């Protein structure tokens, strides 16, 4: 999902239309405050990725202030931010990129170049989402399950794992079943693919 935050309606409409020409679903917001309100319920990130096109200069809360709020909430990694500005503020651009912005475009911008970067940002968001989900699953494993997991990934059979850990083969089978269940896989090959 592409989130467009710009105080100019004509820009919001143009960017939304441009996104649709690339098959990208977009939601528009007239202010930083409106976007922050949309984040108030529990946030469900789009499985196709999320990206924020953010105007720097807006009345009340600026794009930079919104970016700072997103960084403080931990959203910047899951929702890449591409800044847009009508004022060539190079030091601001450099500072934003150093603090984690995905990119910075000066208006007027090349439509295709901007949408190419949006698609790259969505792909990065999607990859980050998958990685965070896998890390969350791994965190749900017990210390013993992690030991069994490592030995499974080395290609060891249940009997070998049991011998190495000094536990029964039945206990290894139970751990293996729990690992597969928690990691949401059916085979050791799927598990290896997930963690590569």
| CATH of residue 173 | 1.10.10.10
The beta-strand segments (E) located in the chain are 2-5, 26-29, 51-55, 81-85, 103-106
Residue 104 CA: distances (Å) to CA of 52, 67, 95, 148, 159: 12, 13, 10, 46, 56
- 18 and 80 in a single domain? The answer is yes
| pLDDT band for position 128 (cuts 50, 70, 90) | confident
| pLDDT band for position 76 (cuts 50, 70, 90) | low
Reduced to 3 states, what is the DSSP secondary structure of residue 56? coil
% the chain with pLDDT above 90? 49
Residue pLDDT, tens place only, 78-104: 789 999 887 766 677 777 777 788 888
**Which of 13-22, 55-64, 132-141, 142-151 has the lowest average pLDDT?**
132-141
- 7 and 57 in a single domain? The answer is yes
- 127 and 150 in a single domain? The answer is no
| pLDDT band for position 23 (cuts 50, 70, 90) | very high
Count of structural domains within the chain: 2
Determine the Cα angle at 4 with ends 1 and 39, to 5°. 70
Single pTM value for the model: 0.67
Phi-psi region of 95 (alpha: psi -120 to 50; beta: other; left: phi over 0): alpha
CA distance 150 to 148: 5
- Higher per-residue pLDDT: 173 or 85: 173
Q: What pLDDT was estimated at residue 194?
A: 78
* 189, 180 contact by CB (below 8 A): no
Residue 171: domain span? 140-195
- 66 and 145 in a single domain? The answer is no
- 24 and 44 in a single domain? The answer is yes
- 144 and 123 in a single domain? The answer is no
């Amino acid at each position: 999902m592409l989130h467009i935050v710009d105080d100019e309606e004509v820009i919001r409409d143009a960017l939304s239309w441009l996104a649709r020409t690339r098959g990208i679903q977009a939601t528009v917001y007239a202010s930083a405050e409106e976007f922050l309100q949309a984040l108030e319920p529990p946030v469900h990130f789009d499985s196709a990725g999320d990206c924020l096109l953010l105007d720097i200069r807006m009345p009340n809360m600026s794009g930079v202030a919104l970016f700072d709020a997103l960084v403080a909430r931990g959203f910047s990694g899951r929702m890449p931010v591409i800044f847009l500005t009508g004022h060539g503020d190079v030091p601001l651009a450099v500072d934003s990129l150093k603090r984690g912005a995905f990119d910075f475009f000066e208006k007027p911008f090349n439509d295709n170049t901007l949408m190419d970067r949006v698609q790259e940002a969505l792909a990065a968001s999607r990859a980050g989402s998958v990685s965070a989900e896998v890390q969350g699953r791994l965190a749900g494993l017990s210390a013993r399950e992690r030991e069994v997991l490592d030995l499974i990934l080395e290609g060891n059979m249940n009997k070998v794992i049991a011998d190495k850990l000094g536990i029964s083969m039945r206990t290894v089978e139970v751990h293996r079943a729990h690992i597969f269940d928690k990691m949401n896989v059916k085979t050791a090959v799927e598990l290896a693919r997930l963690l590569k």
